[in-house]
Structure 1
């Protein structure tokens, strides 16, 4: 059942108690962070609701009437329970803010997120972070189901039900082993790359989705089935390095391999392989606490790279 209208305004009862303790409406108002006229009006409204005079007002201050003392005494345990309720709500929020669950695509999880989490540790040392990694479709599912507070994906579009923000830039790179014939050519057409079976990520991967989208945007309407599907970036690099076949991977993932010439980059002409990496969260919600801090850190890293250019 709803609370009776006479007792819904607990602040007025708390104000009455403060008058009893401090001896004046002015000092009680100051303790509650309100003006004296506002406090006086609240107390008059309380008296009207209760139906009796609660205060004796004098030039030297105010004191509770006998009825006022009774009302303040009856209100005391209610106000104490309200304080307990507020403390409980605060502890729940604090507990929530000290735990952060992040779901991230493999590229972000392996090559970008570690630095972001180190930066998060510097501003939120008490936050316990749990990271789950998977393809972009899995990340979207985790965030939509509430199992993750924040997600990072490589998908071309933000999945339905999620809001997103670009936090990093990436470029897909076609790579081959040094002994592969393409290593000497150094470039192939988009059509040639599309009709060649590649070592590829599984369906649902943001990298695979971005590659297929880029080919369609370049006017390539058909492509070969993958030579080999693997769910691990490390496994794909090993397969490409071993000469099993060409692979398309994130530039972040192959930077070290290109520097050591364990893999050779092959330019794909006529296609734009740049893409954005995004943070995502449920539509209609705003990341808060550590999730908001991590989002700010990731976004700031994008701005820093842009400034360096």
Structure 2
């Protein structure tokens, strides 16, 4: 019995040590969704060092597959093959406009209307852009994308300046952006945001603890993709 108790204690000490000294490498494509989870984890595990950066979803996945990243926040239809993760949020893809824009006043738009306006999108590796352009292609519309930007604040600045309409998650918008969402009349424009890692990393103590905090926010459950 004493030997069993000692073994259990040793495992707990090793797990605590792993959580305390590990540097967790995280990459996100949408900071509005990722930062609250990262912040909550840091409060619970203040001894863990975090390296967090922003990239397009395709680049996040490449980093995880190559072993350069431990955890990624991505936009996708589902958890990618061979990875483990959970859904953080499901949100529509919308246009983002100044409050005085005709489509903002109307509140919604169809594809024929969208084709008449200049658009500001994220870079081509962005999951949001892929969802939007896939739906536009099915609607036989070629979007007039005049700018491709990475950071959300850059998109907000250009939309405010009247350069064009933004394309984004509805969940990305906040009151401080001083912009409004314009709903697109297309049921295919639904984005899912996931937190993912390589399957073998899901059992590493610090990664497991991070996913647990994600589950609290997303009220979801871990999902293993098919191989």
Q: Normalization by structure 2: what TM-score?
A: 0.79
In our comparison, the structure showing a higher alpha carbon Rg is 1
Q: 1:280 to 1:244 in 2, by over 3 A?
A: same
After the TM superposition, which residues 7-26 of structure 1 pair with which residues of structure 2 at under 5 Å, given as runs? none
Q: Is the 8 A contact 1:168 1:302 kept in 2?
A: yes
Q: Is the 8 A contact 2:120 2:145 kept in 1?
A: yes
| Matching residue of 2:23 | 99
Deviations 1:18-56 (CA, angstroms, capped at 9, x unpaired):
xxxxxxxxxxxx7655xxxxxxxxxxxxxxxxxxxxxxx
Greater per-residue helix proportion = 1
Higher mean C-alpha deviation, range 290-299 or range 269-278: 269-278
Q: 1:183 to 1:142 in 2, by over 3 A?
A: same
Q: 1:222 to 1:284 in 2, by over 3 A?
A: farther
Deviations 1:207-257 (CA, angstroms, capped at 9, x unpaired):
1112223445xx413322411111121111111111111111122322225
Q: Determine helix, strand or coil for the equivalent of 1:240.
A: helix
After the TM superposition, which residues 136-151 of structure 1 pair with which residues of structure 2 at under 5 Å, given as runs? 136-151=57-72
Instruction: Structure 1 unaligned segments of length 5 or more: list them.
Output: 1-29, 34-85, 305-309
After the TM superposition, which residues 109-188 of structure 1 pair with which residues of structure 2 at under 5 Å, given as runs? 110-188=31-109
Q: 1:291 to 1:285 in 2, by over 3 A?
A: closer
Question: In structure 1, what is the Cα distance between the partners aligned to 2:98 and 2:58?
Answer: 29
Shift of 1:138: 1.1
1:222 aligns with 2:141: yes
Shift of 1:154: 1.2
Q: Determine helix, strand or coil for the equivalent of 1:163.
A: strand
Deviations 1:87-114 (CA, angstroms, capped at 9, x unpaired):
xxx69x7389622111111x1xx21333
Q: Is the 8 A contact 1:153 1:206 kept in 2?
A: yes
Query: How many equivalent residue pairs?
Result: 212
Once superposed, what is the RMSD of the aligned Cα atoms? 2.9
Instruction: Structure 2 unaligned segments of length 5 or more: list them.
Output: 5-9, 221-227
1:242 aligns with 2:161: yes
- 1:270 pairs, out of 183, 186, 194, with 186
Question: In structure 2, what is the Cα distance between the partners aligned to 1:148 and 1:214?
Answer: 30
Q: 1:199 to 1:273 in 2, by over 3 A?
A: same
Greater per-residue strand proportion = 2
| Matching residue of 2:120 | 199
Q: Determine helix, strand or coil for the equivalent of 2:142.
A: coil
Shift of 1:170: 2.5
Question: In structure 2, what is the Cα distance between the partners aligned to 1:99 and 1:170?
Answer: 31
Q: Is the 8 A contact 1:143 1:150 kept in 2?
A: yes
Q: Normalization by structure 1: what TM-score?
A: 0.60
Shift of 1:298: 1.1
Q: 1:138 to 1:32 in 2, by over 3 A?
A: same
Q: Determine helix, strand or coil for the equivalent of 2:209.
A: helix
Q: 1:190 to 1:119 in 2, by over 3 A?
A: same
